Structure 1
Amino acid sequence: MRKPGQVLESFYERRILGQCRHIPDHIAIIQDGNRRYAKERGIDVAIGHRMGAEKTNMVLEWARDIGVRHLTLYCFSTENFNRSEYEQNELFKLFTEKAMETLEDERVHENRIRFQMVGDRDLVPEDLLKRIEKVEEVTKNYNNFTINLALAYGGRNEILHATKSILNDIERGVLTPEDITEDLINAHLYHGMNIPPVDLIIRTGDDKRTSNFLPWLANGNESAVYFCAPYWPVFRKIDLLRGIRVFSNRVDSSYLP
């Protein structure tokens, strides 16, 4: 039997969802606050990250059930390499475990969920990269729901790599400067994964900045942005729906004369 608070929260979730006339196709989330959540509770930061990973599993289900088709998660930025060796090792160990679990998760295959990594693969530990690429290979033909893992990712770094790739093609005579278009740049970003523009960015942890996250797909698309106070481990479905409501209201306002 559900507690009164759970019943009220469920009612509020339905109410917010009813106010959302438009559901974003692509949501990108900056999962911030794992470390602060752990430190404020006097627990190891690695435990905070593991609690955040469990929350990620829940959010994936919520987003898919609501009708979102693409979800990009900011797992580890290029700036995160400045963190302690201990924290980096714990995170990479956690990512490796989750990659292994993904292959064995029946829900992934039943619901045809595709996983792919965006980021600098040269910076990812070899063992973890092998696991991720295995997940990518197994799920490459799934198309019901796509999860992009932004790992060793930095927006400026991504644009820099795309620029070098285009210049290399020009030097080889494959392209000319006149061939450079938005579509061409899209094709050189994110290893040619053809990721759709971001409709909504959500950042948890009460920090109001987008931190070099998907500048071409998000900022260039003028995506809606929703900043919320809860740390990632205590992010709720209500928070997700509030973000979607921000997006929906923005779409509605764009129709006004």
Structure 2
Amino acid sequence: MNFIKNMFTKQYATYDYENIDLTRIPKHVAIIMDGNGRWAKKRGLPRTAGHKAGVEVLRDVIRTSSQLGIKYLSLYAFSTENWKRPQDEVNALMQLLVIYLRKEVQELHENNVKIHIIGDIDRLPENARMEIRSAFELTQNNDGLIVNIALNYGGRSEIIQAIKEISRQVKNNELEIESIDEQMFSRFLYTAGMPDPDLLIRPSGELRISNFLLWQIAYSEFWFSDIFWPDFSGKHLIEAIIDYQKRDRRYGGVK
């Protein structure tokens, strides 16, 4: 802990790092990476420039998460609704995914990070699927930070798919209806075996969930910021966690 603390104090010399409690770090942090297009527009740049800048943020956020001891980091990269965007923008996003994985996966692997994809990737281009499979295979035995990259992901779609699979198993007498409860239902989601997010972060000034992890965030703490994603950093992640640590999480009970 002292090593981590000294390292971060040096990295963020102007930030009051002493306010964070390293014994109360959230296990699972989810981030809606938003604001790339508006960041670019504000600078008179094409939207693709914003997406490129947003990708550069990932290294710092993942490194900070790993060093803090966060166990799961879920990143909303491409939703089921994002297919409605102009085709050239969608193509650019898919190419950025390929470039990012090729460039970063070895370093992620060397730092014990495990890449996990949540969402239906069958619709993604073949080269993107190949890079995803390669990243998964390379990092699958790592036991450090697990990075969930949400691609072609939608919370409603995830729930519907879970219901269909449960229904199929009930129909085939593989599952008793009476055995269906919240814990069992969670095993049919993309995040099966993972704790629900403790903290959901959304930069960019929007105050929506945008169909992200709808089942899993039932009791998550939310942290919103006006910062566009390309301007986000490990410093802001620390700021969100400090704010999270000030909250009294009662889960519907009374303390």
TM-score of the pair, normalised by structure 1: 0.88
Shift of 1:227: 0.1
Q: Cα distance 1:237–1:101, how it changes in 2: closer, same or farther (>3 A)? A: closer
Question: Which residue does the alignment assign to 1:3?
Answer: none
Shift of 1:11: 3.7
Q: Match of 2:201, as an amino acid?
A: I
Q: Cα distance 1:159–1:253, how it changes in 2: closer, same or farther (>3 A)? A: closer
3-state SS, counterpart of residue 146 of structure 2: strand
Shift of 1:102: 3.4
Cα separation, 2, equivalents of 1:124 and 1:17: 39
| Contact map agreement 1:13 1:238 (CA 8 A) in 2 | no
- 1:7-156 matches, within 5 Å, as 10-17=13-20, 22-103=24-105, 105=106, 107-156=107-156
Deviates more, 1:122-131 or 1:74-83: 122-131
TM-score of the pair, normalised by structure 2: 0.89
RMSD: 2.3
Question: Which residue does the alignment assign to 2:227?
Answer: 230
| Contact map agreement 2:109 2:138 (CA 8 A) in 1 | no
Q: Cα distance 1:9–1:121, how it changes in 2: closer, same or farther (>3 A)? A: closer
Cα separation, 2, equivalents of 1:135 and 1:7: 31
Deviates more, 1:143-152 or 1:128-137: 128-137
Shift of 1:160: 0.5
Shift of 1:15: 3.6
Q: Deviations over 1:164-195 (max 9, x none)?
A: 011111111211211212222111111x6422
Q: Match of 2:29, as an amino acid?
A: I
3-state SS, counterpart of residue 178 of structure 1: helix
Cα separation, 1, equivalents of 2:250 and 2:244: 10
Deviates more, 1:207-216 or 1:197-206: 207-216
Deviates more, 1:89-98 or 1:120-129: 120-129
Shift of 1:43: 1.0
Name whichever structure is richer in helix by fraction: 1
Cα separation, 1, equivalents of 2:187 and 2:254: 33
* Uncovered stretches (5+) of structure 1, i.e. residues with no partner: 1-5
| Contact map agreement 2:69 2:145 (CA 8 A) in 1 | no
Cα separation, 2, equivalents of 1:170 and 1:77: 30
Q: Deviations over 1:148-176 (max 9, x none)?
A: 00110110010000110111111112112
Cα separation, 2, equivalents of 1:74 and 1:90: 17
* Uncovered stretches (5+) of structure 2, i.e. residues with no partner: 1-8
Is 2:178 the counterpart of 1:178? yes
Cα separation, 2, equivalents of 1:236 and 1:229: 13
Q: Deviations over 1:200-232 (max 9, x none)?
A: 00000011111111111112xx11100011101
| Contact map agreement 1:204 1:230 (CA 8 A) in 2 | yes
Q: Match of 1:52, as an amino acid?
A: G
Q: Percent identity?
A: 34
Cα separation, 2, equivalents of 1:84 and 1:189: 30
Q: Match of 2:49, as an amino acid?
A: I
Cα separation, 2, equivalents of 1:203 and 1:13: 22
Question: Which residue does the alignment assign to 2:165?
Answer: 165
Q: Match of 1:65, as an amino acid?
A: Q
| Contact map agreement 1:155 1:213 (CA 8 A) in 2 | yes
